């Protein structure tokens, strides 16, 4: 057995020369009538392995205690901290400053209601989406007997469902979506991905017709203009393009089918 190795792995985080960083942060409190949106600049020294979480925390601790932003897990798991970083939506906690230029512009996600500065109300939007699309398993019948062995499921299917279930509802896809900017009620890639996830799940009793009722319109799968900003920015690399195309084909066929009959 080979459990002895003599060469340790390389040291983590290859660090380049550390720089002087300038953060240009969009500041605005929509509840304050005197507040007007503006960019405010903060200057800090870069540190090895610095993420935007570390940088913003330092700005708040050392330079300006009033800057609002949202972090929870700071590990790329919870989806709280999506913001627009130099024009591109993404998770701030997972963004390393070394991958950015020395001038970093941070803005809140568009589409969502602004709370203050970089903080937006994704929760409200997403709860609305969940209620509309009924993003839960619609059980097929009787309550299960919890004492009994669970229903078997094909292991590959379980993996496939999890693949789509990995969405953290960060809102990046909505912020990067052309349709969402134009159609207030567009469910976004996040919503379409949910439908694809539940359509795949044999525990959900809903039929294709039920799914069609939910997303078979311009606020759903037919509103997508195939710009696919969603796929580009998804921090979990979900196969959004494939799911949207699949849903559209499936639901379009259904429309054709129902017209024929």
Partner 1 sequence: MKVIYTDVLVIGGGLAGLRVAIGAKRRGHDAIILSLVPPKRSHSAAAQGGMQASLANVTKGQGDSEDVHFEDTVKGSDWGADQQVVRMFVNTAPKAVRELAAWGVPWSRVRQGDRQVIINGQKVTITERAEAHGLVAQRDFGGTKKWRTCYVSDGTGHAMLFAVSDKAIEQGIPVHERTEALALIHDGSRCYGAVVRDLISGELVAYVAKATTIATGGAGRVYRVTTNAVICEGIGAAIALETGVAALGNMEAVQFHPTGIFPAGILVTEGCRGDGGLLRDAKGHRFMPDYEPEKKELASRDVVSRRMEEHIRKGNGAQSRFGEHLWLDITLLGRAHIERNLREVKEICESFLGVDPAEQWIPVRPAQHYTMGGIRTDHTGQSRTLKGLFAAGEAACWDMHGFNRLGGNSVAETVVAGMIVGEFVADFLESGQGEIDIPTALVREALAAERGKLDALLASKGSERADALKIEMQQIMTDKVGIFRTGKDLEEAVARLQELLVRSRNIGLRYRIDGPNPELVTAYRTQKMLKVALCVANGALTRTESRGAHFREDHPRRDDTNWLRRTIATWADPMATLPTLSYEPLDVMKMELPPGWRGYGNKDYVDHPDTPRRAAEVASVRERTKEADRHAVQAALMPYEDLLPERFRGRNERIDERLP
210-239: which residues touch partner 1 (CB under 8 A)? none
Candidates 151-159, 176-184, 220-228, 240-248: pick the segment binding partner 1 (CB under 8 A). 151-159
Binding-site size, partner 1 (CB under 8 A): 79
C-alpha triplet 56, 48, 102: angle, nearest 5°:
60
Question: Residues 84 to 143: which contact partner 1 by CB under 8 A?
Answer: 94, 96, 115-117, 119, 121-124, 126-127, 130-131, 134-137, 139
Q: How far is the CB of 159 from partner 1 (least distance, A)?
A: 7
For 11, how many CA atoms within 13 A lie in the half-sphere containing its CB? 4
Contact 190, 177 (CB under 8 A): no
Tokens (6 digits) for 223: 């509103």
Q: What is the DSSP string of 161-204?
A: HHHHHT----SHHHHT-HHHHH-TT--HHHHHHHHHHHHH-TT-
Question: Residues 54 to 83: which contact partner 1 by CB under 8 A?
Answer: 60-61, 65-68, 70-80
Nearer to partner 1, 81 or 84 (CB): 81
Nearer to partner 1, 61 or 184 (CB): 61
Nearer to partner 1, 36 or 149 (CB): 149
In what helix (H) or strand (E) does residue 52 lie, and over which residues does it extend? Answer: helix 52-58
Q: How far is the CB of 148 from partner 1 (least distance, A)?
A: 5
Q: What is the DSSP string of 69-95?
A: ---SSSSSSS-TTEEEETTEEEEGGG-
Question: Residues 172 to 211: which contact partner 1 by CB under 8 A?
Answer: 198, 201, 203-204
Question: Residues 14 to 53: which contact partner 1 by CB under 8 A?
Answer: 14, 29, 31-32, 48-49, 51
Non-local CB neighbours of 222 within 8 Å, separated by 6+ positions: 216, 248, 251
Nearer to partner 1, 11 or 36 (CB): 11
Nearer to partner 1, 135 or 243 (CB): 135
Query: From the list 18, 144, 182, 253, which residue makes contact with partner 1 (rule: CB under 8 A)?
Result: 144
Q: How far is the CB of 36 from partner 1 (least distance, A)?
A: 16
Closest to 123 measured CA to CA, from 168, 56, 84: 168
């Amino acid at each position: 057995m080979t459990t002895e190795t003599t060469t340790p792995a390389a040291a983590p985080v290859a660090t380049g020369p550390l720089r002087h960083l300038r953060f240009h942060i969009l500041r605005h409190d929509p509840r304050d009538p005197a507040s007007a949106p503006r960019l405010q600049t903060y200057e800090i020294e870069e540190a090895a392995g610095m993420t935007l979480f570390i940088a913003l925390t330092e700005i708040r601790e050392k330079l300006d205690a009033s800057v609002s932003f949202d972090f929870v897990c700071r590990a790329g798991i919870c989806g709280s901290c999506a913001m627009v970083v130099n024009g591109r939506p993404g998770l701030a906690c997972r963004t390393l400053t070394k991958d950015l230029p020395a001038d970093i512009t941070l803005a809140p996600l568009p589409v969502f209601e602004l709370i203050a500065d970089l903080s937006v109300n994704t929760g409200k939007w997403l709860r609305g989406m969940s209620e509309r699309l009924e993003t839960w398993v619609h059980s097929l019948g009787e309550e299960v007997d919890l004492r009994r062995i669970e229903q078997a499921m094909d292991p590959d299917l379980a993996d496939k469902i999890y693949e789509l279930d990995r969405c953290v509802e960060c809102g990046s896809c909505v912020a990067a979506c052309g349709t969402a900017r134009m159609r207030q009620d567009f469910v976004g890639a996040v919503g379409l991905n949910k439908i694809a996830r539940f359509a795949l799940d044999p525990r959900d009793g809903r039929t294709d017709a039920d799914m069609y009722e939910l997303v078979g319109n311009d606020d759903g799968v037919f509103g997508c203009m195939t710009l696919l900003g969603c796929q580009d920015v998804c921090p979990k690399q979900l196969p959004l393009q494939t799911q949207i195309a699949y849903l559209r084909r499936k639901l379009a066929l259904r429309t054709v089918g129902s017209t024929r009959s």
